[in-house]
Structure 1
């Protein structure tokens, strides 16, 4: 039997009505235009925007924001109050610490970690053993 998802609607700063569905595992807010695996856990106060994809067994902490067109692999841990800006990609088994801020088009390679409170500039590649700015 399919799980019924509750719909939440509100008006954004531009006067546009935005809609989100509560994710069945954690109750987080997921845009109808996002794809979040049912095995992922999205905390109640977390948001996943349109065009984003979140893989199986991934955990997104409270207050975190997965922005438009972000891809998060499987078995990833996203801490609390994290912001992944548009176009960012987080590989399988990666970890993003609480309060981290990742710029646009950042790549976190599989198995890599971003420290809590870290600010990662746009177009940076975070490897398992190094951080470098993409060309």
Structure 2
């Protein structure tokens, strides 16, 4: 059922699940999630309840941000990515297309996850930071 940007589905347990279309990209967002208005959520992407998506972040087509996930600012999540429950992706990170992140995965600031990666539960991917006045990335 669709009403003015509201979409309802029946899940595998026979429960009705409600999503609203995000104004930037028209992706499906749980009313119990927070997605910054400047983030772009592709039309066929989902953001589940309890998730947070920061400013200027892009979530690609067919991607799924699971429950309780935190995605920082200026993050790029490619197409067909699943970010598992309770995972955290810090500012400026990039998750390549087709990747699968387990539960509780932590991706550091500015880190890069190559396409089609499979990260087990609780994996930590260290990020990078740029020192002021320096053009080089330095491991955090």
TM-score, length-normalised on structure 1? 0.91
Which structure 2 residues correspond to residues 84-103 of structure 1 after superposition, within 5 A? 84-103=83-102
> Are 2:117 and 1:118 equivalent residues in the alignment?
yes
CA deviations over 1:2-56 (Å, ceiling 9, x no partner): xxx6100111111000000000000000000000000000000000000000000
The RMSD of aligned alpha carbons is: 0.9
**What CA distance in whole angstroms lies between the structure 1 residues aligned with 2:127 and 2:31?**
33
- Hey, what does 1:133 align to over in structure 2? none
Aligned residues: 125
Q: Which runs of 5+ in 2 are unaligned?
A: 129-140
Displacement of 1:76 after TM fit? Answer: 0.1
> Are 2:11 and 1:12 equivalent residues in the alignment?
yes
> Are 2:16 and 1:55 equivalent residues in the alignment?
no
* Higher CA-based Rg: 2
Displacement of 1:128 after TM fit? Answer: 3.0
- Residue 56 of structure 1 aligns to a residue whose secondary structure is coil
**What CA distance in whole angstroms lies between the structure 1 residues aligned with 2:50 and 2:127?**
26
CA deviations over 1:60-105 (Å, ceiling 9, x no partner): 0000000000000000000000000000000000000000000100
**What CA distance in whole angstroms lies between the structure 2 residues aligned with 1:123 and 1:59?**
23
- Hey, what does 2:66 align to over in structure 1? 67
- Hey, what does 1:41 align to over in structure 2? 40
TM-score, length-normalised on structure 2? 0.88
- Hey, what does 1:28 align to over in structure 2? 27
**What CA distance in whole angstroms lies between the structure 2 residues aligned with 1:16 and 1:94?**
34
Q: Which runs of 5+ in 1 are unaligned?
A: 130-135
**What CA distance in whole angstroms lies between the structure 1 residues aligned with 2:46 and 2:18?**
11
- Residue 81 of structure 1 aligns to a residue whose secondary structure is coil
